[in-house]
A and B are shown apart, each in its own frame.
Chain A
Amino acid sequence: MALSTEPRRGVPDRPSGTAYRVGRDRPVGGFELWTWLFMRISGIVLLILAVGHVLIMHVFDTGVERVDFAFIATRWASPVWRTWDWALLVLALVHGINGLRVITLDYVRPAGVRFAINIFFYTLGFMLFVLGTVIVFTFDPSKWPTT
């Protein structure tokens, strides 16, 4: 296992002028390195997707007040917004659920309990991924012609 076996420590006493030690030890290989890298790359993409989504949908132009079925029908007439929302769905779910996994590593010591909690969130995440994907790509407002 390429992971550091060093115990986690706090920031050591810092002689003035030297750098802080910040955060947990950086993973040096294997699964943890790839999730570490994924968190950073998805984070950069989410800076645009999530912050853009929040500003467009929740802040400007009366925010969610204007959001109703007709609004979604107009918005998802564009494949750009369907793709944006789907990418946001996938990246936010994986980024967030991996974040929860990292948190369980800190607070849930018994391996079996941690495994059960993580399996619960993976299952929930997968179900929401399927639900969101199906809705984003199959939504067809012409099924309700009166609107």
Chain B
Amino acid sequence: MKSTLPLDGLVVLEFSQYLSGPSAGLRLADLGARVIKIERPGLGDAGRKLSIKDLWVDDNSLLFHTVNRNKESFAADLKKEDDLETIKKLIARADVMIHNFRPGVMQKIGLDYTVVRKINEKIIYGEISGYGKDGPWKDKPGQDLLLQSMTGLAYTTGNANNGPVPFGIAIADILCGAQLVQGILAALVRKQKKGVGALVEISLLETLLDFQFELLTTYYSSNRQPERSYISNGHPLLSAPYGIYATADGHLALAMMDITALAKAISCKALAAFSTGQAFTKRDAIKDILVKHLLKHTTRHWLNSLQQQGLWAMEVLDWEKMMQHEAYKKLDMEQTIYANGKRIITTRCPVRINGEKLFAAVPAPQVGEHNEKIYNDFVSAGK
């Protein structure tokens, strides 16, 4: 099965911790690459000790197991001459390396791109920083919530009177990892054609600015900051009714739609006084009418009439209800991993290749679990 994957045979060295770099490594692994984590002996990736909701599998958090399945681990102390030499031999045989150390750390160790390139000129060297390598912020911690806060992102979500509301998912880390994967893969395409390596760099800061490209382009053009609605904000650039509304028994999401068609579909006389042309200027007034009206009936009632008219609406589900739904079950999104005898259920890769779902239920490695194997495959064999 694995032999048919697009990145089969590719060797990736992951000098990364926590989420941004390791999430990139995970995607490359799921697409078929052999991903080797290079870790400090003993402690390893600091992400091993970072838990969320205090959930643990073994000595490692469930979070670590989630992000690092389908990888191998090679323990090496980069401050020791011998270990560093071994790592350089691995680098000579690798296609890709990824790190997310703060600026200057790889120079100190002696594994910055200028050095690595001399060992392996065709390597793709992927580097993640928090804020780039120059400037007043370069040494600040590249932590997700802080980046959300500094890039204006917290003013896109929640209602205007909520104060800044961050995304409850590590968007900067995850998106940065995903963007890095794109850069690395594009560089591999060039390498295959032209035989040259590449340095691919990205920062969490640039990632979140790119993420907001629609909002920022609008801001540059209008010089007006985006304004969240006071009621049911769904997206600061979008007009009424875009947002989530409470109903008699749950919540309903309404996307872009014609106001007149909406008024008709939900039999709302007060709304019929407004036209689609007023969907921006009277955004909160329209939303206020909807809030009161939609409370009168159940989500199912509204959905029936809205979807019948081809209007873009959907019920708001929590995970429990979502997982009971046939649409979720049909995806076959879960996979089961056995790590040290413990059963972990997690998600699979979202990309399908040639109609196949990509499952890879290989547990995350212990620190240095694959030293011997990797040494034999790359270092002894290379002699």
**A is bound by B:** no
B-binding residues in A (CB < 8 A) = none
